[in-house]
Amino acid sequence: MSPYVPILVLAAIAAAFAVFSIGAGALAGPKRYNRAKLDAYECGIEPTPQAAGGGRFPIKYYLVAMLFIVFDIESVFLIPFAVAFDRLGLFALIEMVLFIATVFVAYAYVWRRGGLEWD
């Protein structure tokens, strides 16, 4: 049996539980219509007409996601390196240090340009 089958079984149990909960919640709870209840919750003041359209968000989030991708790719390459390390030899270690150093240069650049500051 594939080792992935048990994962699917657990996922199926969890999915059944989640769908059942949502269905049960919708059935068991009371339903009392109230226009104010269906408004977006903003502590009692009139809701902003268009949630996020008007005010856009700090571009910093974009930078965080970009940094995340870069470091994610780096760690993805570190994983086979780490697992195979004992069979690889000195040359691979030097290669990996070069790789990390290059990405570190980019990281230092982002740091210098204030890309890691949140204000």
Residues 2-21 that bind another protein (CB under 8 A): 3-7, 9-11, 13-15, 17-19, 21
Q: What's the min distance (Å) between Cβ of 4 and another protein?
A: 7
Q: What's the min distance (Å) between Cβ of 115 and another protein?
A: 5
| Residue 93 contacts another protein per CB under 8 A | yes
Q: What is the DSSP string of 4-60?
A: THHHHHHHHHHHHHHHHHHHHHHHHS-----GGGGS--STTSPPPSSTTTSSPPPTH
**Interaction with another protein in 67-86: which residues (CB under 8 A)?**
67-86
Q: What's the min distance (Å) between Cβ of 104 and another protein?
A: 7
Residues that contact another protein, how many (by CB under 8 A)? 99
| Residue 45 contacts another protein per CB under 8 A | no
| Residue 89 contacts another protein per CB under 8 A | yes
CB burial class (10 A; 0-12, 13-18, 19+) of residue 113?
exposed
Q: How far apart are CA 116 and CA 107, in angstroms?
A: 9
